[in-house]
Amino acid sequence: MLEVKNLNKTFGSLKAVDDVSFAVPGGKILGLIGQNGAGKSTTFRLILDFLSPDSGEILWNGAPLTEKNYNEIGYLPEERGLYPKISIEDQLIFFAKLRGKTKKEISPLIDQWMENFQVKGKKSDKIKSLSKGNQQKVQVIATLIHSPKLIILDEPFSGLDPVNAELLKDAILALKEQGSSVIFSSHNMENVEKICDHLIMLRDGAVVLDGAVHDIRHQFERTKLLIDSKLPMEAISEIEGVNRVVRRVDGILQVDLANEKVGEEIFRLGADLGYMPIFSQTPPTLEEIFKMKVGENHE
């Protein structure tokens, strides 16, 4: 288990990481989110010992990380970097050797990993001959092929199309099932909601949300309503406490409520007119919560 305790880091007058604490048990996935400059990448670099904290502790299974522990980490930086004139095979073996693995251990795994990620090309192909998307998949494979116990992914879905993003999700979930601890940052809240067990939101280096994704969403009132009924859009918009009504392309009405009690009135009026195929009242999405928290002003 990774534990980060009361971590602090300043650069001159900038407080980049402000008393950040969290834990990532084995077999769990933590999503670290926040706007650009919130402290996500700095937190990763502190964990990886690329930077030294001003104060705080970083522990792996209750003790400071050792060189052996760092060999068990898979790290995908936000700024990707591969050697263009080297073949896929040599690239993957090179990065694995940096993590203490041997060519004999890694070579037999390459074909399967390339098949899993649907890399277009042969393992003898040079990196520069691959498309940008396939280069990115090779970098992801280099991060994961040595079966790390701790995986740190900085914006791993950036630049991936939906199909390849799904392949990456499957790989992350497979390593989770093997007991790895996973941390990743992302601006795509849908990915965070789908695969994270726990969520940390940073703003200006400090934690502003901390909890399971379901629990965080349900800290907020059920102010999002989807409805399909005989109740006219105009009638809904005139109800006190309805902030906005939008008709989606599929005909379903999307309603923003001032508070969840307003939903009871809409339900009563709609039910009086007959069967409602859809009436779904939920808390804000994670993306909406993110926007709310990022937009809040510090006092």
Question: Which pLDDT score, from 0 to 100, does residue 120 have?
Answer: 87
Question: Which pLDDT score, from 0 to 100, does residue 298 have?
Answer: 44
Question: Which pLDDT score, from 0 to 100, does residue 296 have?
Answer: 59
User: Alpha-carbon distance 19 to 9, whole Å?
Assistant: 9
pLDDT in tens, 234-244: 999 999 999 99
Residue 124, pLDDT > 60, answer: yes
Sheet harboring 29-33: ordered strands across? 73-76, 150-154, 181-185, 29-33, 198-203, 206-211
**Where does the chain show beta strands of DSSP type E?**
2-11, 14-24, 29-33, 55-60, 63-64, 73-76, 150-154, 181-185, 198-203, 206-211, 224-228, 242-247, 253-257, 278-282
The residue among 126, 123, 170, 125 whose CA lies nearest residue 144 is 170
Residue bearing the bigger pLDDT, 249 or 133? 249
Whole-model pTM above 0.85?
A: no
Q: What is the DSSP string of 172-233?
A: HHHHHHTT-EEEEE-S-HHHHHHH-SEEEEEETTEEEEEE-HHHHHTTS---EEEEESSS-H
User: Alpha-carbon distance 70 to 83, whole Å?
Assistant: 22
- Mean predicted confidence (pLDDT) in 189-208: 88
CA quadruple 65, 67, 71, 72: dihedral sign:
negative
What are the tokens at 203?
A: 């703003």
Check: CB of residue 29 under 8 Å from CB of residue 176: yes
DSSP state, residue 128:
G
Residue 79, pLDDT > 90, answer: no
Question: Which pLDDT score, from 0 to 100, does residue 171 have?
Answer: 86
What are the tokens at 196?
A: 């994270």
- Mean predicted confidence (pLDDT) in 51-70: 92
SS3 state at 294: helix
Kind of pairing between the strands at 29-33 and 198-203? parallel
51 band by pLDDT with thresholds 50, 70 and 90: very high
Tell me what the pLDDT averaged over the chain comes to. Answer: 90
Q: How many other C-beta atoms can be found within 10 angstroms of the C-beta atom of residue 136?
A: 22
pLDDT in tens, 153-169: 998 888 778 888 888 88
- Mean predicted confidence (pLDDT) in 29-43: 91
pLDDT in tens, 92-103: 999 999 888 999
299 band by pLDDT with thresholds 50, 70 and 90: very low
Q: What percent of the chain has pLDDT over 90?
A: 59
Kind of pairing between the strands at 63-64 and 73-76? unpaired
Residue 89, pLDDT > 90, answer: yes
Residue 17, pLDDT > 60, answer: yes
- Mean predicted confidence (pLDDT) in 253-279: 94
- Mean predicted confidence (pLDDT) in 258-269: 94
Which domains does the chain carry? 2-217 (3.40.50.300), 224-282 (3.30.70)
Lowest-confidence range among 68-72, 92-96, 223-227?
68-72
- Mean predicted confidence (pLDDT) in 251-260: 94
